[in-house]
Chain A
Amino acid sequence: MEFQITKKAKNVAFGLMGLGTLLTIIGVVLSASDHHFFTRLMASGLISGFFFFALGLGALFFLALKYATESGWYAAIKRVIEAVAGFLPIGMIVLGLVLLVITINDGAHIYSWMDPKVKAHDELVRHKAAYLNPIFFWIRTIVYFTTYFLFWRGFKKRSLEEDSVGGTALHFKNYKRGALFLVFFAVFSSTSAWDWIMSIDVHWFSTLFGWYTFAGMWCSTMVVLVLTTLYLKKLGHLSNVNNSHIHDLGKWTFATSFLWSYLWFSQFMLIWYANIGEEVVYFQTRIAEFKLLYFGMFIINFAFPMLILMSRDAKRNAGILVFVGLTILMGHWLDVYIMVSAGSLGANAKLGALEIGMALLMAGTFIYVVLRNLSKAPLTPVNHPFLDESNHHEI
Chain B
Amino acid sequence: MSDKVLYVMYDDDHVLKDSAKKLVEKGVKITEVFSPFPIHGIDPIIGVKNTRLGIMAFLYGLTGLTLATIGMRFFMVTDWPMNIGGKPNFSYLENILAFVPISFEFTVMCAAHGMAITYLLRNKTLPGMPAQNPDPRTTDDKFVMEIRLSENNKISEKELDKMLQEVGYLELDKKEIK
Q: Which A residues are within 8 Å of any B CB, using their own CB? A: 265, 268-269, 272-275, 394
Contacts and interface: CB of A to CB of B under 8 A. Distances in A.
B97 A273 contact: yes
Interface string B33-53: 000000011000000000000
Interface of B: 40-41, 85-87, 97-98, 100-101
Given A394-B40, A394-B41, A273 B87 contact: yes
A268 B98 CA distance: 11
Contacts of B86: 275
Contacts of B40: 394
Nearest to A311: B54
B41 A272 contact: no
A58 B71 CA distance: 42
B41 A269 contact: no
A313 to B, nearest CB: 10
A275 B85 contact: yes
A339 to B, nearest CB: 21
A273 B41 contact: no
A331 B164 CA distance: 58
A265 B98 CA distance: 11
A308 to B, nearest CB: 15
Contacts of B85: 273-275
Given A394-B40, A394-B41, A273 B98 contact: yes
Contacts of B87: 273, 275
A200 B96 CA distance: 30
B14 to A, nearest CB: 12
Contacts of A274: 85
Q: Give the top 4 A-B pairs by smallest Cβ distance, nearest first.
A: A269-B97, A272-B97, A273-B85, A273-B98
A265 B41 contact: no
Nearest to B84: A273
Contacts of A394: 40-41
Given A265-B100, A269-B101, A272-B97, 7 more contacts: A269-B100, A273-B87, A273-B97, A274-B85, A275-B86, A394-B40, A394-B41
B142 to A, nearest CB: 24
A33 B83 CA distance: 52
B94 to A, nearest CB: 11
Contacts of B97: 268-269, 272-273
A347 to B, nearest CB: 25
17 contacts: A265-B100, A268-B97, A269-B97, A269-B98, A269-B100, A269-B101, A272-B97, A273-B85, A273-B87, A273-B97, A273-B98, A274-B85, A275-B85, A275-B86, A275-B87, A394-B40, A394-B41
A394 B17 CA distance: 15
Contacts of A273: 85, 87, 97-98
Nearest to A265: B100
Nearest to B101: A269
Nearest to B41: A394
Contacts of B101: 269
A390 B133 CA distance: 34
A269 B87 CA distance: 12
B17 to A, nearest CB: 12
Contacts of A268: 97
A265 B41 CA distance: 39
A273 B94 CA distance: 12
Contacts of A269: 97-98, 100-101
Contacts of A275: 85-87
A246 B98 CA distance: 37
A275 B41 CA distance: 54
A274 B84 CA distance: 10
Contacts of B41: 394
A161 B101 CA distance: 49
A221 B172 CA distance: 54
A49 to B, nearest CB: 33
A269 B97 CA distance: 6
Nearest to A262: B104
Nearest to B50: A312
B48 to A, nearest CB: 15
A269 B40 CA distance: 43
A256 B97 CA distance: 22
A265 B101 CA distance: 10
A272 B86 CA distance: 11
B32 to A, nearest CB: 22
A291 to B, nearest CB: 16
Nearest to B40: A394
B54 to A, nearest CB: 8
A62 to B, nearest CB: 25
The residue in B86, B97, B98 that gathers the most chain A C-beta atoms within 10 A of its C-beta is B97
B55 to A, nearest CB: 11
Nearest to A270: B97
B111 to A, nearest CB: 13
A272 B87 CA distance: 10
A268 B100 CA distance: 12
A272 B41 CA distance: 49
A246 to B, nearest CB: 18
Nearest to A269: B97
Contacts of A265: 100
B50 to A, nearest CB: 9
B43 to A, nearest CB: 11
